Amino acid sequence: MRVVIQRVSKAKVTIEDNTVAAIRNGLLVLLGIVSEDTQEDVNWLVNKIVNLRIFPDAKGIMNESLMATHGEMLVVSQFTLHASTKKGNRPSYIKAAKPEIAIPLYEAFIKSSETILDKTVQTGQFGADMKVELVNDGPVTIIIDSKDRA
């Protein structure tokens, strides 16, 4: 699993001009899944994300986590995170998991996040053509791959 995490002051997802999800003060998580991913990747990545100390403390130092700040989370599936651009100019998405593998892991990621955060996690719609708007706070943007744990 690969994620792009952005600390946001607000973010929303629209589908066909309808807002389907919106948050303030939290994390926008763009989530890419490959066929080799498992529940272990979900568990490790969710724990890593909710405990990342990337929110300012009282002194303005990035020292607080999403858990500590009680911030919100918005998760958007994004298969293009696993694009290969080695050959030519047209990206290949062959590494991205097919829906029969990706959807259950995407849903498990959301459920695990909700359980740990003890709140509803906002989401886009898997496979839909979505428009994502955000105000990146900081800016803070972090990329994490569950296969690069060392």
Please pick, among 6, 55, 79, 123, the residue that the annotation labels catalytic. 79
Please pick, among 19, 38, 39, 80, the residue that the annotation labels catalytic. 80
Q: Which residues of 105-135 are buried (b: 16+ CB within 10 A; e: fewer)?
A: bbebbbebbeebbeeebbbbebeeebebebe
Whether 39 is catalytic:
no
- CA nearest to 136, candidates 9, 17, 44: 9
| Residue in the structure block whose two tokens are 């272990």 | 40
DSSP run (H or E) holding 103 = helix 99-117
Whether 55 is catalytic:
no
DSSP bridge partners of 76 = 30
Catalytic sites, residue numbers: 78-80
